[in-house]
Homo-oligomer: A and B are copies of this chain.
Amino acid sequence: MPETGLPSFAADTGVTAVEPGRWSATVHEGWDIAGNANGGYLLAIAARAMAGAAERPDPVTLTAHYLSPGRPGPVEVRTSVVKSGKRFTTVQATLVAGDRPLLAVLGTFGDLAPTEGAPAPSRVDDSPPDLPPVDECVPLVPSDDAGGMPPPFARRVEIRMHPGDAGFSRGRPSGEMRLRGWFRLPDDQPLDTLALVLASDAYPPTIFNADLPVGWTPTVELTTHVRARPAAGWLRCEFTTRFVTGGFLEEDGVVWDDTGTLVAQSRQLALVPRPV
A235 within 8 A of B: no
- The count of chain A contact residues (Cβ–Cβ below 8 Å) is 58
* Contact (A242, B212) CB under 8 Å given A248-B225, A248-B227: no
In this assembly, does A274 line the interface, its C-beta being within 8 Å of a C-beta of chain B?
Answer: yes
Q: A108-B220, A121-B214, A123-B210 are in contact. Are A243 and B227 (CB under 8 A)?
A: yes
Q: A124-B243, A245-B227, A269-B60 given as contacts; is B92 within 8 A of A67 (CB)?
A: no
Which of A36-66 touch B at CB < 8 Å? 60-61, 63, 65
List the B side residues contacting A105 at CB < 8 Å.
Answer: 106
A82, CB-defined interface residue at 8 Å: yes
Say whether B82 contacts A246, CB under 8 Å: no
Residues of B within 8 A of A265 (CB): 243, 250
Residue A272 is within 8 A (CB to CB) of chain B in the complex = yes
CB <8 Å contact, B250 and A120: no
Q: How far is the CA of A108 from the CA of B120 in the complex (A)?
A: 35
Q: Which residues of B contact A241 (CB under 8 A)?
A: 125
* A82/B101 contact (C-beta < 8 A), A65-B61, A124-B243, A247-B120 known: yes
Structural contact, A244 and B82, CB atoms closer than 8 A: no
A201-215 CB contact bits vs B (8 Å, 1 = yes)? 000000000101110
Whether B245 lies near A228 (C-beta < 8 A) is yes
Q: How many copies does the complex hold?
A: 2
**Do A124 and B225 touch (CB < 8 A)?**
no
With an 8 A cutoff between CB atoms, is A200 at the interface?
no
Do B223 and A63 touch (CB < 8 A)? yes
Enumerate A254-276 residues with CB–CB distance to B below 8 Å: 261-262, 265, 267, 269, 272-275
1/0 contact trace for A226-238 toward B, CB 8 Å? 0110000000000
| Interface check A158, CB cutoff 8 A | no
Which 6 residue pairs are nearest across A and B when measured between Cβ atoms?
A: A63-B63, A106-B106, A120-B247, A121-B212, A61-B221, A82-B104
Collect the chain B residues with CB atoms within 8 Å of residue A117's CB. 274
Chain B residues lying within 8 Å of A274, measured Cβ to Cβ, are 117-120
21 pairs, CB–CB < 8 Å, chain A vs chain B: A61-B221, A65-B82, A65-B90, A88-B220, A92-B104, A104-B106, A108-B220, A118-B274, A120-B246, A120-B247, A120-B274, A121-B244, A121-B272, A123-B177, A123-B244, A125-B243, A126-B242, A243-B262, A243-B265, A245-B261, A245-B262
